Every structure is written in C-alpha cells, then in structure tokens.
Structure 1
Amino acid sequence: MTVRRLFTAGALALAAVALIPGQQAGATGPGELPFGSATTVGLHNTYDPAAFPYLAQGLDTGTGMIELDAWTDTITKEWKVSHSNPLGNGNNCVNASTPAQLYTGGANKNLEACFDDLRVWLAAHPAAGPLVVKLELKGGFAANRGMGPKELDALIAAHLGAAAFRPADLLARPGGGSYATLDDAARAGNWPTRAALAGRAMVEVIPGTVEESNPFDTLHTDVEYGRHLRDLSATGRIGQAQVFPAVHGAAAADPRSRYETTIRPWFVLFDGDAAAYVNGIDTSWYDSRHYLLVMTDAQNVAPAISGTDPTADQARARVTQLAAAHASVVSSDWRHLPGIQSLALPRG
C-alpha cells in the first residue's frame, strides 16, 4: 500500500517558517514576501510514476514547483505526458474530480488530466502555494497542426481555471489599468505577495530537449509563445494567455538579446543550470529587476551532493546558498525531504 504524505496547510507553513535561517527571517513571514522576492524549492519530473505513484503525492510534499513533460501528438490531437514516448502517456496523473480521487484510479492520462489533478488538489489546500508548474514541451509546439500556443492556453484555462496566475494578472496595476509589458510590470515590483497567491499556480513553459537538438526546428517554444503574448497584447486579448515563457539556459548579461526586440519585454522568467549561474554570472541582475530565476540541478553546485537523497542539512544549506545567489526556485529530485520542499526563504 502506498503511504500518502499528506500535510495540512498549517503544517506546511510551520515547516517553512521553522527552517528559515534566523538571519534571513526578519520580521517578515514567508507569506508576506512578494512572489518575486522569495526562494522556494522545486521537484524535477514530478509526473514520473517512479517518483510518486500519484501526482498529488508530489504536491503533498509542499513543493514550490512541479515539472511536467509533454508531447504534441498531432495524430490524435492529444497532449501526451511522458519522458520519452511522443505517442503515449507515462505519468501519474489520474484525472481526479474530487480530492478522494487524487490517490486512486488509473494513471497515464493526457496533459489536461494533470491540470485537473492540480486544480482539485489546490482547491483542497487553499493555503498552499503559490506553485510553479514547469511545462517542458519535449518536441515543441505544432501550431500548423492545431497544437500551438492558442490551444495550450485553451487547455489550461479549461482545466486549471481560476487557479492559474496569468500574464494578465501580473500586468494589472493595483489601482486600475495595466502595465504595457511583463517586463514593465516585473521591474515595477508588481508581483503579489505569496499569501495573495495562495492556492494558485503559475505555468512556465520551456523548450524541450528534443526540440532544442532538432536542426530542422527553427521556431522554438520560447520564441513562439513570446510572439503569441506580443500579438495577444497588441489586439487586446492578453487575458487569454495562460503561460509565462522562460528564457532557457544560463547565460551572462541579458539572455533575451538573442530574441527579436519586439518579444524581449515578454520574458520575465529565466531557467537554467544552477552550477552555471553561480560560476561567474551576475545573478543579482535578475533579482534587482524582480525577474524569476529557476536554478535546476541544484545538487551539482560544488561541492556536489546527492541528487536524490542528501541529508536534510545538506539540502537546507544548498537552498540557503542558492537563495543568497538570487534563485527564485531551487530544483532537484529531493522528493524524500518534505521539510526542504516546503521551504520559503527571502531571496538574495
């Protein structure tokens, strides 16, 4: 029988506060930190049944980020969730419609089922989060076959619903009106507090490993969704967007310089290797502009620690180190450390 690691919202909050180093906690609790001013911990490949029999069990750890790998099956017009099978599912999503169903039933469902499970879990844990949902499109979009940014937006809107924190939400000014671009909003510090985003999820999309190694794919996920945001904004339809595209790969200076100028202001989220970020890149550049920075493979930062089962002290020290290095999310496979997964630290 699978042991369910169920944590109450109160227990998660207490665990997060208890693990904040005294010199960082100050008078401000983690809930009062702006979303862009906090460091949380994330789980790599949370959809993998080898990691968790049910996606909800990954969420129960109190993690600040889950990761889903998706493929566009243009034959069936289905978004498949698996690590390496573009035509089939290999995941722990069960298409729950009630909290009780989160831990029962058959898995290996399509992407919409994963978002259904997430929506149901968040509704049952309204004080949890905010949560980043990292979506890796393994082979990229297939907009010419009816599986592009527009269709992904529709799927997320239908299955995650009001729990989604959308680009339009970051753009909205507190007193009315909106900022012109995500860059304007982020640099103005328009991120809500973590407490205000409790029970909600922000979807991040990155180019996939197959897409990035495909010499015939000349339009990658990040550029395609960046153009989508630009065009929606220009036509007054930015409210339809459900996703924040990420600049993928650690790089010095402003990594958006590789993009066309018209889409650069639509990227405020950056995602890359933790060891690369801390080895000579000025990560304060991201923090000072309130951009989000996801640092992956945290275990590989020197001195390397276990990628799956470090001690709690080792993992806590690494999260604290990368929080000081301006990470927004510290990602690894530390699935057996719920006390670490539920950490929320001041960033920088």
Structure 2
Amino acid sequence: MILVTGGAGFIGGNFVLDWLGNPSAEGVVNLDKLTYAGNLTTLQSLSSDTRHVFAHGDISNYELVLSLLKKHSIRAVVNFAAESHVDRSIHGPGDFIQTNVVGTFNLLEAVRAYWSDLPESEKKSFRFLHVSTDEVYGSLSPADPAFSETNPYEPNSPYSASKAASDHLVRAWHHTYGLPVLTTNCSNNYGPYHFPEKLIPLVILNALAGKPLPIYGDGQQIRDWLYVKDHCSAIRRVLEAGKLGETYNVGSWNEKPNLDVVHTICSILDSLRPKADGTSYASQITYVKDRPGHDRRYAIDATKLERELGWKPAETFETGIRKTVQWYLDNQGWTNGVLSGSYRDWVQKQYSNPTDQ
C-alpha cells in the first residue's frame, strides 16, 4: 500500500479519489488530522472500498506513523499534510510551524526508521514524495521569468516560510541519510472539494448566496492556476519515474490576475445559473483592504517536468474553471456541510474591511 498524509484535504482528497479510481491500483492508507480543512465526506464514495484505510491522526505522532508504515507494508509516502492558507498563517503562525516544520520532521524520522529496516530490494524501490508550493520562491515582478527549480527560496509569509523549511528538511534527509525523496512545487490549485475560504470556491458560493465577492487590493495579483486533477496526474508521474532527490515544478501556464478570475466565474454563472433580476454576478464584486505582504505574482515554469517525465496538463484554465463551477452547482450538499459556524466567523473576520475602490 501507499501512505497518503492529508488525504482528506482538498488536493490530498482528490489524489486519493483519482488513485483508487484505477481498479488495479494499490490500496491507500489515508492519515489525516481532520482539521477545519479535512472533510471525510469528500471520500464518501470510497466507504465500501476495502483498498481505502482511513487513520485519524497527526503526522507529528512518530509512533502512530511508524506503526502504520509497518502494519501496512508501505512502499511509498505522499505527503500532502500541511497548514496551507496564507491568511490564517498571518493571524496564527504557530499552527503552521507545528504542522509544516515539526510535523514534517517527525514524519521524516518515522519514515527513516521504517525505511532503514527494509530489505535492500524494498529500500531501493521505496519513495517519499513531498508536496510543496510555488510560494517558497517569493514574488515575481511582471517582467520576471517564471519560477524554475533553481530559483532561490525567498518566502514572504509565515505559510510559505514554514513550507520552505519543510522542503529543506526533506532535501537534508536525502543528502544526509540517503532517504529516497522527491519534491514537487505546485502553483495555485482549483477544482472540486476545495475548502471555500480560497478565492475560487469563495467567489462561487458567495455569488450564489447573493453576498459580496471580496477582492484584495486592486485584484491584480497574478497566479498560475492549476486544475487539481492535473496536479494529481503530475504527482503520480513523479512518484513513478522522478529522479531521486530532485524537485519538479508543477504548473499549467495559466497566469491570471485575481480580478480576471472572478470576472470569468461571474460570466460562467451568468450563463449556467442566471440571476432572477437579470443582473450579472459581477455587480457583487467588492474591494477589501489588501492583506499584509501580499505577493504580487507567482508563475511556474514546468518545462523540466515535461522534458524529463513527459507530463503536460490536460486542462486549460477555460475548461478547468467551467468544470469547477459546474461541480459546485451540482454538489451544494458538500459545500453546505463544510460551511460551519467557525468557517462563517473566519470569513467575517477576514473580509470585514471594505474599501471604496
């Protein structure tokens, strides 16, 4: 079996669903702490699939991780477990240090202990794949080339700093102990099962509810948007054929300013679910005070992944965003289930400072 950490979250959940969508795939041990962003209803379709074993727990729990590795004869670990929301890291950085730094350290130590005792043939085939972010590279100016794997790390938020630290730990465990690691650094993901505090699901759900569509600052922050199922296929490919110790950037060449993304969503909703009064959802756009240290532009150069492993994204932004909007229209039961009181309190706290733009 393989061990997937954070497999009840957005990207991890999609990865588990896609992996087990292959009838001949190995089983998955899914370790998740079930924080606010973990949602077992994402995995409801696997309730009768004996290949899916869920374990409620924390990657910081060395003994738990080691016991799972031994009990299920794990041959690969895919580490999605992370605190990942920049805004939350600004308000409460301690959780990010605990999970992304201390948690990754304990996970690596448990994996190292397990791997060290494997027979030589199994040691050679074992893999530890660490999933990271483009935000570790910092911010780009409009004329800068996209981030490549050789860009220096220049994280600007508590979130990205904690992920950068975890990347460095993974690299060090490879070079010091020989642990067979792989690292992927992805651009902004979007798609089904995305927790609705992130831009795209927040805009879709607020639009449908007749609420303001909050835009930070001038809305010209540029991101490279990666459809989550494309990201999952890239991870499978790196796990299968990636060179040990290497980093692979995962992106889809879809740079878009946030404001353009919001207008695109509004246009799709205008077509698929027109408002009763005939107005556009774009009339709900509201500008709010920008967050501290907001990076202006991210962009990923995924040439290495294409050149060395033959991976390309299947979706354009236009096809992926339409699928995403349609998914949220078709799955409002899932979204209603995650819109708890604590989430509503968070949104109120984060987006309560409108500007007059």
TM-score (norm 1): 0.34
**Greater RCO (Cα-Cα under 8 Å, separation 6 or more):** 1
TM-score (norm 2): 0.33
